[in-house]
Chain A
Amino acid sequence: MEKITINYDEILKLIALMEEKKLAHFELEVEGFKIKMCKNTAQTAAVMPDVRPAAGQPQPPANSLAARAEEAAAEQQAGLHYITSPMVGTFYRAPNPSSPPFVEPGEPVQKKQTLCIIEAMKLMNEIESDMDGVVQEVFVENAKPVEFGQRLFSILTTG
């Protein structure tokens, strides 16, 4: 097998490709060669679970104030391409209780396709995907409250 080599320009191209494809993490290992690239922000998000307590759940006592201040500050930096809630309300994965969910992890979705419903002020608001891709994860359980900006889905682009 031919030995793989890589030069500086090619690394730059890989970085650009990561950006373009919105990849957070890239790893390649073949005999005698290994490259691993992570986006800083992405890494934080990937390693750290969403530790935000869902609205409506009690918070830890105030003695961890400093920790929570830091944690809240860290959250601010986490900036992956997620579908986030545009409003405060209740999250529904299906158009009605007897229907299957709009989407499941692993399923492809298209831009403008409905992903979920958020009920606010007695109105059902359909939340659409803003990109073509594949649903990676659903972060919120059905019928749970969501706050503004809360992550609902992660989507991997296929565009």
Chain B
Amino acid sequence: MFSKILIANRGEIALRIIRAARELGFKTVAVYSEADRTALHTLLAHEKVCIGPAKAADSYLNVPNLLSAAEITKADAIHPGYGFLAENARFAEICQTSNITFIGPPAAAIRLLGDKNRARLEMKKARVPVIPGGDKILQDFAEAKKAAQQIGYPVILKAASGGGGKGMRIAHNPTQLEEQFPIAQNEARAAFTDPSLYLEKYLAKSRHIEIQVIADGYGNVRSFGERECSIQRKYQKLIEETPSTMVDPRLRRRMRAAAEEAVRYLGYQSLGTFEFLVDEKKDFYFMEANTRVQVEHPITEAVYNIDLIKAQLRIAAGQKLTIPEDQEMRGHAIECRINAEDPETFVPSPGKIDFLVFPGGEGIRVDSAAYCGWEIPPNYDSLVAKIIALAPTRQIAIKKMITALEMTTIVGIKTNLPLLLSILSHEEFQKGAYDTKFMDRFLAQKETAAHTAAPLEPGS
């Protein structure tokens, strides 16, 4: 096993990893930027090393400083969390050559799955269904037009080295495609320094459903029941739940089998997630694979009563998977992401938290690095807390979540709490009959309909 783990991240995920590592008896090293001197991960790890100024490129993405920090603290493993360097194959390689265990999949797997186009081709080889579309990088609009004609409109342009919705553009006809092509190229160039685009059939009414996997170094593979992540705005997930209302046992078995097949084909290890689009006919298509722990992992932990991070740490230390096969999902879990942002305009709202009350009680889990008096720096993402509700049924879980959010009080910054509450109360959500376009419709409705009822306020 490891003696000391350096966590190359911040915020709630750094705390999540510190917790798991401490429970397993490992010492922990926090790295922090100058903006995170008072951050909880900095204060709660056994040791801490400042690795640079506020700007992420100079601190949390500063590979030489991170490795030096591991060296001077004699850490033998680095957990990258999510974001930052989590899906950087080069970083994983550098860790390896420095004799530090990178807690994640092998660098080759990160590289392969990080290239969305190559990932598609490999998935096809592994007989995992992929979305119909051009299997090659498009050099110009003429090529894009030809490819779109072959698969039929609507189509979606995607950045080859993309993620997070950057460089994604939808076109319903050749005119729109001509307009969107250079925009998508520029977005891709700006976000990933790579303007390469490819094109796929766009599934209008579909769900974003993903399968969590974990695999050890001995060929043991486990997959878990789906996470439904269709409530998203600009490809940023807001609410996730498990199980999905549209996945029946047969579809679940097929999706899990496809994900496990992909893991075996790739020789993948560690935690990972295979994201699929599922259409109305319950056909599913591989979208992309995430080679890291995901923000929404706690809902899977909730319904399976497992600790994915601890399992990941054990596997990284060379142990065998101990999670039993064919466990049943127990109950229904929902996660809401509380962001520091204006609920109307979505403008980030960093600043000092003057008063803070998180919910609790049976079936409620809060993953957060926020505390009363802490100042949320403007330099990083706006996630303040994840609230996870677990209950025997979906209906009770929704009630539990609404109650939890109503009892949450965050003063000093704006949060999306009112938005989350109105989504949870929305008829489409309550029925579980939503798709990835839910937020577009929801926000359009909100704009047209004048506010008849004010959002729920705690204590009102």
Interface residues of A (CB under 8 A from B): 53, 55-59, 62, 65, 68-69, 72-73, 75-76, 87-90, 120-121, 145-150
Contacts and interface: CB of A to CB of B under 8 A. Distances in A.
Contact of A121 (B37, B46, B68): B68
A105 B48 CA distance: 28
A59 B48 contact: yes
Interface stretch (B69-77, B120-128, B168-176, B355-363): B69-77
- In the complex, which range does the number of interface residues on chain B fall in? 20 to 34
A53 B43 CA distance: 12
A148 B51 contact: yes
Contact of A56 (B53, B66, B74): B74
Contacts of A145: 49, 72-73
B31 to A, nearest CB: 8
A68 B73 CA distance: 20
A72 B30 CA distance: 14
Interface string B59-72: 10000111111001
A147 B49 CA distance: 6
B378 interface: no
Given A73-B37, A121-B64, A148-B50, 13 more contacts: A57-B47, A69-B38, A87-B64, A88-B49, A88-B50, A88-B66, A88-B69, A145-B49, A145-B73, A147-B48, A147-B69, A148-B52, A149-B34
A150 B50 contact: yes
Interface string B35-46: 001100011111
Contacts of A68: 43
Contacts of A69: 38, 43, 371, 373-374
Nearest to A149: B50
B267 to A, nearest CB: 30
Contacts of A121: 64, 67-68
A58 B47 contact: yes
A88 B65 contact: yes
Nearest to A118: B68
B64 A55 contact: no
13 contacts: A58-B46, A65-B44, A69-B373, A72-B37, A73-B38, A76-B34, A76-B38, A87-B64, A87-B68, A88-B50, A145-B73, A147-B69, A149-B52
Contacts of A72: 37-38, 42-43
Contacts of B44: 62, 65
Query: Mostly helix, strand, loop or mixed at chain B's interface?
Result: mixed
B6 to A, nearest CB: 11
A21 B53 CA distance: 27
Interface of B: 34, 37-38, 42-53, 59, 64-69, 72-74, 371, 373-374
Contacts of A73: 37-38
A146 to B, nearest CB: 8
A77 to B, nearest CB: 11
A142 to B, nearest CB: 14
Nearest to A87: B65
Contact of B51 (A56, A65, A88): A88
Contacts of B49: 55, 88, 145, 147-148
B68 A89 contact: yes
Nearest to B371: A69
A78 to B, nearest CB: 11
B49 to A, nearest CB: 5
A94 to B, nearest CB: 19
Given A73-B38, A148-B59, A88 B47 contact: no
**Top 3 A-B pairs ranked by shortest CB distance?**
A145-B72, A88-B68, A147-B50
Contact of B37 (A56, A75, A120, A146): A75
A147 B47 contact: no
B253 to A, nearest CB: 45
Contacts of A88: 49-51, 64-66, 68-69, 72
Pick the most buried of B49, B53, B68: most chain A CB atoms within 10 A of its CB.
Answer: B68
A121 B64 CA distance: 7
Contact of B48 (A55, A89, A90, A120): A55
A149 B66 CA distance: 14
Contacts of B47: 53, 55-59
A158 B52 CA distance: 30
Nearest to A65: B43
A150 B43 CA distance: 17
A59 B81 CA distance: 23
B38 A120 contact: no
Contact of B72 (A53, A58, A89, A149): A89
A68 B373 CA distance: 13
